[in-house]
Structure 1
Amino acid sequence: MRIAVLNLAFVVSGWLSWSAAVSAAELVLAAEGKSNYQIVLPDPTLDPIIDRALGKAADVMREMFLANGGTIPVVRESQADKQQPGIYLGDTAVARAAGVEASQLPVWAYVWKTAGPSVILAGRDWPATKQQDSGDRSCCLGTVKAMTDFLREFCGTRFLAPGGLVGIEFLPTPKIVIPAGLSRRKHPLVNYNSGGRPTTEVNEIGLNLLNNVTTEYFAHTHELAVPAEKYAEQHPEYFALFHGQRIRQHPHPWKPEVMVKEPHLCYSNKDVQELIYQDILRSLDAGYSDYLSLQADGFQPCTCDDCKRLFDTADWGEKLWLLNKHWAERLLKDRPGKFLVVSAYTVTGKPPTAFQDFPPNLRVSVGSYQQAFDLWKDGAIPGGFVTYLHAWGGYHLCGYLPVRTPQYAERTVRMYGQYHVKGVGLDSPPAIMWGLEGPTVYVYARMLDDVQNLTAQQLVEEYLQAAYGPAAAPMTRMFDELHHTLAAYAEVFGVDNGILPAKHGARRASVPRLSNASRQEHAGRVAGRDGISREDHHGLVRHQQAALPAGNLDAGTDRPSTITISPGSISPGSGLDI
């Protein structure tokens, strides 16, 4: 990425006693390359992960000031100059004195607040209990999120990609000004948006790749609560009766000559029910707010008489939903404010018919597809949803090439807002190719900041201007072509989980194109940005239109037109597909 450094005149013959310009309306943090602010970190905490993360955040803020021609010290609170104003990051004594109790905030929530000439940026900074397989702990770093949003809104900073400073663009901001009475508390749209390894990187948090610290396991938790290796020998009655056997084994999927016991449970057994409920309490008492309730994969129902009579229904989806409802109702009394998350998966994939009003502490986990959410639209689910997103990944038909468009990203996040989604598990990290999918990932990330008001079009323009500067106009045309082609690909082949939808068996589809009026409007925006006149741009569009089959465009109308395409005959388009 370009790192723009503004060469401002800087007075080095001794710091003048230059104080922040304070008026009734604003605070000036820096102007003309000068600032007498200091970045103030909390004194070391008991957790070095948090200390390192806040230190990285302070370094990025210092680089922002440097890019605009000034220098600013980074100090611990105990070493701060009490005569100078500061930008206080995290759970500092100054923040607490101003009434900001960062440790009491919800995960990933934060506060911006001025205290005289000083500025407080503080969020919940908390490491989850569970040690990850990689050796890293998943942390909530609300202060880092507070700082990245602050830099974007007031300091011309754009977080475009992972990778440290090369993924950050510092746009020239000669004068950094904030409202003197700034006071804002922000809660994120989702409590997590993550997949794979935990992150403490400033860039990734700036892109709303937020660690999951709400849920201990994203796994088939019932078999973890009642492990066959522990209970099979002494309590075979805990396990599903199937073909006259309760304890069955199968070969381990990747360990040769290793046999594993089947994990399917006898859900009518009161001890089994209680073991699962006690595991729910154990996890929540460790500091997590949500517990994922999920039966074993490849679910095999128990055929014992008690299970057949369970809840007076033969439908195993109904049985499990009613059992989860029972646990949620107990939990509401035992651990108010905590949530049970039930995965709509295999046998529990459909809404229960026994009830439509869900307990307020029960959330439903579904896939990130409109059809999956729409299946639940008739139920009253005040706890909301969590979801898992298969947007990116090497399993798609085109492998590691770009697969998504900005419109897809906008549509997906709007769906999250519509259905009150509280968490997103990413099946694969976003963008295998950051260069070509950068605008799409940026739209996905930034839409999470303000789902009601942001749009894909404005965010793509924001990205391209920051990433490419004077080259934004030709890059806009290149990405228009790419996004239109990807939209056509998605319509023809489908990309959800790399599966060809049955509805496209004929391998033909209609793909929306822009009307001539919309094309002319776009041409007006880009005309002159790279030396191409409006007339020459229209000529380019006409040339590209002529290469398309007849009947593609509704000339002279504002109605979206369509083209009919088939694999192997997709011609490059020229429409604005963002």
Structure 2
Amino acid sequence: MNMGRCFTALIIVLSLGVTNMMAKSLREHSSKGKHPVLILARDGRSDYTIVISNDASPTERHAANELRNFLEQICGARLPIVTDEQSVSGPMICVGWSRAVQRLDVNVDLASLGKEGFIIKTVPPHLIIVGGRLRGTMYGCYTFLEDYLGCRWFTPDCTRIPKLRTIKLPSINRRYVPPLEYRATDYPNSRDPDWAVRNKVNGHLPPIDEQRGGHVTYYPFVHTFNALIPPQEFFEDHPEYFSLVRGERLRDRTQLCLTNPEVIQLGIERLREWIRSHPDVMIFSVSQNDWHNYCECTRCSALAEYEGSQSGPIIHYVNALADAIRDEYPDKAIDTLAYTYSRKPPKHVRPRPNVIVRLCSIECCFSHPLESCPVNASFVRDIKGWSKVCNRLYIWDYVINYAHSIMPHPNLYVLKPNINFFIRHGVKGIYEEANYFSKGGEFAELRTWIMAKVLWDPSYDTDKAIDEFLEAYYEEAAKPIRRYINLIHKVVRENSNLHMHIWSPPTSGYLSPRIIKQAVKLFDEAERLVRHKPKILHRVQVARLPIMYVQIMRASPKYRRVGDKFVPMGYEQLKQLTDQFERIARKEGVARVREARSGVLNQWLAQVRKPMKELHILTLRNGRLIVEIIPERGGRIYRIYDRVWRRQILRVASPNDPLYPGTGGYEEYSEGEYRTPGWEETFAVEKHTERAVTLSAKLRNGLQLQRHIEVHPERPIIHIRSTLMNVTDRTISACLRVHAEFRLAPIQRTIVKLLRHSGRWVTKKLTFRRDETERQIFLREDDIPAGSWMVVDTKTGLAVVNDFSTSQVGQCLLNWCRKPHRVNLELYSPQVQLKPGQKISIDHSYTLMRVGKL
């Protein structure tokens, strides 16, 4: 195998960067050491004929045509294509298995190559490229063009096809079978079928037709419990089919009762329907919905306890479905997830051979390789556990920031080590989830290129992939962009304590003002170098969007308080930056800047421009308290100040926070999940007195939220009544959530006390496990406080007591954070279906007192 010289040739190609020198370098390379054994073309002419089998597969015929077309582009000669039934007098390029290959007496073990493996071999004067009929021969042709002739297909609109009037080849004897059977990502730029097959991406999204070998197909793709047994179809008559949570069968945001025999039988029937209606699909997903709420019934709980994980009931259930279709459909596989609450492998049950488990890395740190980062220790344990019990283990990996998809996410140097780590632990397929929801993601094309190369060949060098891509895609601007990549990656690569997750904020440590300032200079240089090339200039500007995004997110909340207003600072500079961002983003076709609904470009632009207006502060007061409210920021209580203790009671956000002053303090949500509608809307002031205010807002989900806040005439008590009302003509799922953030003292001297139904107060210490920065506990059923709980400063005895009606509260959440020493006491109403005109409310109060008075 002469791979060393082949890769040397490509490195030379990359360093020269012009087609004439590229041709010269390849000619020199092929003649070093010993004479070339094949001359495919000389001075733009060729004596070679491409030979395929008379019964060649559609993919093999396509491969022969692709090889001919690219050879013509390279050297100018158009080779004829004939079948093995025709006589050929001159040298041959045999594409796929044929009688011509047999006559050359070449030993090819086709079975060992599988669907996608191949051999490339010189049998002077002939060249054979033979592989699996489905995709192997085609992949062999593209590999030959890449590794021996220097072709690259970086993006659908950026390729490198060298010009070589003469093509000389050394002796070649190469065999390759890819280690992964499923190689997928989802960037919009990765979905062109020609780009996908040329880069050996065979995932579910590119519409790859039969002549290009098809692709791995899923139906449905993921989170399918509701599709398998729809609540809208079965819940009314059979609530027992769905998860029992805190003593109640859930219709909304539910999972399945996986131990119910009828649920098993229904699942089998629906699975058979899916297979019959989608006969070409290879993999059928039977997987948990994208939320928690697993079933807590006696049988499900007992099985989960026996297996030591919630994956136990899932694998038992999926095995039952897999057994039922195994004999009838031996070529089909059932896919399920090991995700969040089901990530830990079961102790006893083993997935059936026709079951695929997709292990998800959503909680991990992605600034460092998974295997070496202490934050990822539990994930490493889980993949090792699954690798011992599952013979078809897939990975669902995450490669972008989902809260800020247009923001620097320096993970390019962890892609390769993570993929290799997966493969070493028996993984057979990898889905690299990326910016599937929009064009214009941070380095979308470059990251796609690196992933494609390493998914196919795990030894592919990251620096090589970066350099060859930058040179082709950014041309003269490649060098400053390379320095920028080095700049942002150096910070995380050299700091083992700087962790990056998929929701890291624009204030992350690796995006210091110094880094941003240097990045701006590098992009100024890059733009200057290609200022006369509009197409390349636009690419450079798109690459700059992440830095602009950080600048905007950090600049947009710059408020200065002046009396009873927040006055925006740096308006003109922010406006200019935002307008420039919008112009580039719209030209690129950016639809969203984050995965969540609030990430729609128009909505985000409105939000970041929103701080350009003055914000008014409403003040309530008595002799003890000052309560400040910002109607234009979700009607939030921004500040509670105790005049006696001279103490801020709520956590007041730092002016450097990107959302300041629209974050921290007290806010409410209308759908239960964090920052669902209600927290950021502008509230109208219906009535305002010295001690009370009534606010209301029409939310984007169709609900109306009204809030009445009132301070006691004399005592340090604040009463709040909030009401959600459905003002539409349709039923809306709703859950009123009170989100209050307190900061009485450093977290190490803060405790929480809860009133039990026995009348006894119990103390909860706010501790952290190693490396934890935040913890939370949901309190449900008997664990819900008996109408009262408090946060206490143990040094001073100052306490804030939250009293509420237990009839209005379905669960509570206690959340605490090491920095900024925050404690949340959160109340949730029950999740309800509000019909038109219906409403739900929460009445509660906050009282300041000394603990000793209890």
User: Could you state the TM-score of these two structures normalised by the residue count of structure 1?
Assistant: 0.61
Equivalence map 1:131-210=2 (5 Å): 141-163=135-157, 166-170=158-162, 172=164, 174-179=166-171, 182=173, 184-195=175-186, 199=191, 201-210=193-202
| Aligned mate of 2:258, from 260, 267, 276 | 267
Give yes or no for the alignment of 1:415 onto 2:421: yes
After superposition, the Cα gap between the structure-2 partners of 1:378 and 1:442, relative to the gap in structure 1 and judged at 3 Å, is closer
- Give 1:171 shift: 6.0
Cα separation, partners in 2 of 1:41 and 1:495, compared to 1, 3 Å: farther
Kept after mapping to 1: 8 A contact 2:119/2:129: yes
Tell me: CA distance 1:40–1:466, structure 2 relative to 1, closer, same or farther (3 Å).
farther
After TM superposition, list the pairs within 5 Å mapping 1:317-466 onto structure 2: 317=310, 319-321=312-314, 323-324=316-317, 326-327=319-320, 330=323, 340-352=334-346, 354-355=347-348, 363-368=356-361, 369=364, 370=370, 371=376, 373-379=379-385, 380-381=388-389, 383=391, 385-392=393-400, 395=402, 397=404, 399-400=405-406, 403-404=409-410, 406-428=412-434, 440-451=447-458, 453-463=459-469
> Residue 484 of structure 2 corresponds to which residue in structure 1?
481
Identity %: 19
Ranked by relative contact order (alpha carbons within 8 Å, sequence separation 6 or more), the top structure is 1
State whether residues 331 and 338 of structure 1, in contact with CA within 8 Å, keep that contact through their aligned partners in structure 2.
Answer: no
Residues 15-45 of structure 1 deviation map (CA, whole Å, 9 limit, x = unaligned): xxxxxxxx99833322343312233566698
Alignment correspondent of 1:135 = none
Instruction: Report the counterpart of residue 525 of structure 1 in structure 2.
Output: none
1:267-306 deviations in whole A, cap 9, x for unaligned? Answer: 2222322443566677789466655441233343445554
Supply the distance in 2 between the matched residues of 1:437 and 1:276 (Cα, whole angstroms): 38
Contact 2:187 / 2:435 at 8 angstroms: preserved in 1? yes
What is the one-letter code of the residue matched to 1:455?
Answer: D
- Structure 2 residue identity aligned to 1:218: F
Letter in 1 for 2:37: E
Q: How many residues align?
A: 457
Change in CA separation of 1:241 and 1:405 when aligned onto 2, cut-off 3 Å: closer
* Residues 297-330 of structure 1: per-residue CA shift (max 9 Å, x gap): 3343445554455566597715425515854994
- Check conservation: 1:91, 1:103, Cα contact below 8 A: no
Confirm whether residue 499 of structure 1 aligns to residue 504 of structure 2: yes
3-state SS of paired residue (1:387): strand
Counterpart of 1:26 in structure 2 is 37
For 1:428 and 1:345, the matched residues in 2 are separated by: 17
Contact 1:342/1:363, CA 8 A, preserved across alignment: yes
Closer, same or farther: CA 176–280 of 1 in aligned 2, 3 Å: farther
Q: Give the Cα–Cα distance (whole angstroms) in 2 for the partners of residues 454 and 121 of structure 1.
A: 22
Query: Distance between the aligned counterparts of 2:40 and 2:511, measured in 1?
Result: 58
2:120 aligned residue: 112
User: Secondary structure at the residue paired with 1:448?
Assistant: helix
The Cα of 1:151 is off from its aligned counterpart by 0.9
The 3 A distance-change label for structure 1 pair 29 and 276 is farther
Give me the whole-angstrom Cα distance separating, in 1, the residues matched to 2:514 and 2:344: 31
Residue aligning to 2:802: none
CA distance in 2, matches of 1:291, 1:230: 21
- SS of match in other structure, 1:192: strand
Per the TM alignment, residue 147 of structure 1 is displaced from its structure 2 partner at its CA by 1.6
Q: Within 5 A, what are the aligned runs for 1:244-259?
A: 248=251
Give the secondary-structure state (helix, strand or coil) at the position aligned to 1:497: coil
Alpha-carbon contact 1:341-1:365 (below 8 Å) kept: yes
- 1:447 alignment partner, SS class: helix
Alpha-carbon distance, 1:348 to partner:
0.8
User: Could you tell me how far apart the structure 2 residues matched to 1:194 and 1:100 are?
Assistant: 32
What is the CA-CA distance between 1:74 and the residue it aligns to? 4.7
How do 1:517-528 residues align onto structure 2 when only pairs under 5 Å count?
none
Instruction: Pick which of 475-484 and 273-282 moved more.
Output: 273-282
For the residues of structure 2 that align with 1:506 and 1:72, how far apart are their CA atoms? 52
Any conservation in 2 of the 1:30–1:175 contact (CA below 8 Å)?
yes
Code of the residue aligned with 2:142 in structure 1: it is T
TM-aligned CA distance change 1:174 to 1:6, over 3 Å: farther
Q: What secondary structure does 1:210 align onto?
A: coil
CA–CA separation in structure 1 for the residues paired with 2:296 and 2:349: 27
Amino acid at match of 1:147: C
User: Structure 1 residue 186: deviation in Å?
Assistant: 2.0
On the 8 A contact 2:118/2:137 being kept in 1, the answer is yes
Pick one of 224, 227, 235 that aligns with 2:227: 224
* Aligned partner (choices 36, 43, 54) of residue 47 of structure 2: 36
C-alpha distance in structure 2 between counterparts of 1:287 and 1:115, whole Å: 38
What CA distance in whole angstroms lies between the structure 2 residues aligned with 1:289 and 1:428? Answer: 23
Taking the aligned partners of 1:458 and 1:494, their CA distance within structure 2 comes to 26
Alpha carbons 1:324, 1:342 under 8 Å: kept: no
Shift in CA distance, 322/152, structure 1 to aligned 2, threshold 3 Å: closer
Separation in 1, partners of 2:51, 2:441: 33
Structure 1: give runs of 5+ residues left out of the alignment: 9-22, 127-140, 251-261, 512-566, 569-578
Q: Give deviations 1:320-376, integer Å, cap 9, x for gaps.
A: 255158549948985878755431223313333x33976666553233442264131
Q: What letter matches 2:357 in structure 1?
A: V
2:264–2:321 contact (8 Å) kept in structure 1: no
SS in 2 for 1:155: coil
Q: Give the deviation of 1:217 after TM superposition.
A: 3.1
Going from structure 1 to structure 2, the CA distance change for 1:74 and 1:276 (only over 3 Å counts) comes to: farther
- Tell me what 2:129 maps to: 121
- The Cα shift of 1:236 comes to 5.5
Q: What's the Cα RMSD here?
A: 5.1
Distance in 1, matches of 2:412 and 2:199, equals 15
Query: Any idea what SS the aligned residue of 1:294 has?
Result: coil
Q: How does 1:1-150 map to 2 (within 5 A)?
A: 4=19, 26-40=37-51, 55=62, 57-58=63-64, 60-75=66-81, 77=83, 82-90=88-96, 94=100, 106-113=114-121, 117-124=125-132, 126=134, 141-150=135-144
- The answer to whether the 8 Å contact 1:192/1:210 transfers is yes
Give the residue type in structure 1 aligned to 2:455. L
- TM superposition shift of 1:461: 4.2
Change (3 A) 1:447 1:229: same
- Paired AA for residue 294 in structure 1: S
Take 1:433 and 1:306, find their aligned partners in 2: how far apart are those partners?
48
Distance 1:313 1:338, change over 3 A: same
> What SS does structure 1 have at the residue aligned with 2:395?
strand
Distance 1:499 1:171, change over 3 A: farther
